């Protein structure tokens, strides 16, 4: 960007300053320096900047960017066709968890299993107290009632699906 005049190094702003100063001769033989504004001197000139160097991207980065772009494209497409494919989306969600797709169904089934196991446990305990008149055997029959209730619920779940 700098130029060399003899042994002096001049910079672009120095060249602009010297261009702004013009010697104007007068009729009496003397000369004076007239300074022109910079915008008058630069009028019609264009500013040319060097283009920045092209950065090379690694293969990993390229692959990662492609995956991200594909993901964004899929999300945009899904948003565009969301109103058309509502039934398909519900079916796909149900296919992921065919037994209990919602939290409400999961909680209700869990409470149902607990109620059934509790009822069978109480039935086994009271049957053991009534028939055998022994607390130890009544507890054993209560535990067997728990197992029977769990087995019944598992069998019903298998049959339902």
Give the per-residue pLDDT at 151. 94
Closest to 20 in 3D by CA, of 6, 41, 4 = 41
Closest to 145 in 3D by CA, of 126, 131, 132, 130 = 126
Give the per-residue pLDDT at 12. 64
- Along the 161 residues of the chain, how does pLDDT read in single tens digits? 444 444 455 566 666 666 656 655 666 666 566 667 777 777 777 778 888 888 888 999 999 999 999 999 999 998 888 888 888 877 776 667 667 777 888 899 899 999 999 999 999 999 999 998 888 999 999 999 999 999 999 998 888 77
Q: What is the pTM of this model?
A: 0.41
Q: Distance of CA 20 to CAs 12, 33, 75, Å? A: 12, 10, 60
Give the per-residue pLDDT at 23. 54
Asked whether the CA dihedral 108, 109, 112, 118 is positive or negative, the reply is negative
Give the per-residue pLDDT at 69. 96
Give the per-residue pLDDT at 152. 93
């Amino acid at each position: 960007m700098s130029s060399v005049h003899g042994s002096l190094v001049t910079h672009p702003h120095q060249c602009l300053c010297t261009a702004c100063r013009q010697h104007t001769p007068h009729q009496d033989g003397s000369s004076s320096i007239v300074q022109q504004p910079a915008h008058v001197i630069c009028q019609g000139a264009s500013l040319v900047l060097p283009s920045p160097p092209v950065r090379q991207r690694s293969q990993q980065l390229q692959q990662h960017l492609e995956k991200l772009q594909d993901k964004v494209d899929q999300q945009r497409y899904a948003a565009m066709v969301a109103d058309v494919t509502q039934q398909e989306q519900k079916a796909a969600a149900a296919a992921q968890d065919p037994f209990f797709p919602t939290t409400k169904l999961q909680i209700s089934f869990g409470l149902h299993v607990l109620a059934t196991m509790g009822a069978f446990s109480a039935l086994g305990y009271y049957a053991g107290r009534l028939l055998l008149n022994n607390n130890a055997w009544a507890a054993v029959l209560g535990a067997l009632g728990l197992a029977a209730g769990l087995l019944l619920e598992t069998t019903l779940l298998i049959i339902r699906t």
